[in-house]
Amino acid sequence: MSHGGEPITTFEVFALSHKGKMASDVQYIPEDDPEVYNNPTVHNRLLSYSEVAKEVHGPDIDARAHDLDGKVVMRVGGGKKHGRYYIGDSTLDIASTPTLPQIQAWSTSAGPTICPRPTVSQLEMQTLQAQLEEERKKWEDLESQQQQMAQFYTYMQVRVNGFPCKDINDVKVDDFFLAANLDKPMDTTKSKVRSNVTLINVMKLAGLNTLGISLARIDYAPLGQNPPHTHPRATEILTVLEGSLYVGFITSNPDNKFFSKLLNKGDVFVFPQGLIHFQFNPSQDKPAVAIAALSSQNPGAITIANAVFGSKPPIADDVLAKAFQVDKKAVDWLQAQFWEDNHN
C-alpha cells in the first residue's frame, strides 16, 4: 500500500482507519492479546507507542523501515460501524490510501487478497523452495535431453549416458571386473603406424557406466606412433611404463601453439580435452609401453588423418586441396590409402 508515493506499513493502515491520517511513528505491541485492541485502547496506544518503540527497539527506530513481527487482530472504524480486520503479519495489495469503508469491505470474503508478511523462518523456507525448484527445472531439462537422445530405444531398460542401467538386484561383481591382460605386450605388427591401443571403456567394462573414467594400454614398436588424434569427451593423463616417448599437443586456433616433451620411464604427461595430440617412440630398436587414463567412460577418438582422408563418403578433393594447399593429385593419392584404426 502507498501514500503520496511512500510505502505504508501495516500499522499505518490501522492509524489511517482510526484517525483519518498517517501516523508513521507508531506500531502495535505484538505481545498483547489481540482482543484488547478496541478503539479506545488503540487510540491510547497510538499516542504513546512512539516512546514505547524507542524504549524497546532503540532511539533510532524508524517506523517506515522497521516492520515488527507478530500477529494482531484489530478492530477498525468507530461507533457501531467497526469491522474486524487482520493486520500485523499481513499487508494490503493496493496502490492508494484506503478509506474506512474500503477497509471494512476488504475484511470480508469479497475483498482483495490479504498477503501474509512472511517470518524469517518462512523467508528461509521460501529461499530453499526456490533453490529446489531451480534444481528441479535443471533436472527436467537434462531428462528432456536424455529422452530426446534415447527416444528410439524406449523398449530397452532405463538408460543413463546412453547405456543400459541394470536393476540393482541384478548387479554382480563381474560387472566391475575384466580380465584385460594388460600386463601382456600387444601386437603392433599389423598396424601401419606400428602401435596398438587397448582401450578399456564402458563398452568392455559395464561397471564404468556413469563413473566418467576409462583407461588404455598403448604399445609402440620401435619408431611407432599413436598418430595425431583428439578425444572429444576426455582429458588424458599418460604414464610411460617402458622405453621413451616423444609427445605433444597443439592448442586451438588462432595460436596453434605446440607443446612437446621427451618422456622417459615413469614420467607423466597430460593432454587437455579435445586438443590434437600424439605419442612417438623415437627408439629404433626398443619398444615402448604407456598407460593412459581418460576422464570419460567413453572418451572417443578422432584420428585426424583417418577422419579427413578416410571419411566415408570421401570429402571432395577440391575442398581438401584448398584446405591443405596441395594439388588434387596429392589429395587423391592420400584418399586412396587404406586408413586403418590402431585401436582394439
Binding-site entries for Mn(2+): 229, 231, 236, 277
Q: How far apart are CA 36 and CA 107, in angstroms?
A: 19
For residue 63, which amino acid is it? Answer: A
Residue numbering of the annotated binding site for oxalate: 226, 231, 236
- Per DSSP, the three-state class of 29 is coil
Instruction: Round to whole Å and give the CA distance between 92 and 105.
Output: 12
d(CA 172, CA 292): 27
CA 153 to chain centre: 26
The total number of residues shown for the chain amounts to 344
Tell me which residue of 206, 187, 211 sits closest to 296, measured CA to CA: 211
Longest CA–CA span in the chain (Å) reads 112
- Tell me the backbone φ, ψ of residue 196, rounded to 5 degrees: -145, 120
Measured N-to-C along each axis, helices 10-19 and 39-57 cross at an angle, to the nearest 10 degrees, of: 140
Among 296, 234, 238, 225, CA closest to 266:
238
* CA pair distance 24, 43, nearest whole angstrom: 14
Q: Which residue has the cell 511513528?
A: 25
Beta-bridge partner residues of 276: 250
Picking from 16, 35, 34, 12, the residue whose alpha carbon sits closest to that of residue 25 is: 12
> Which is it for the CA torsion 87, 93, 96, 101, positive or negative?
negative
DSSP H/E element including 143: helix 120-149
Detail the residues annotated as belonging to a binding site: 226, 229, 231, 236, 277
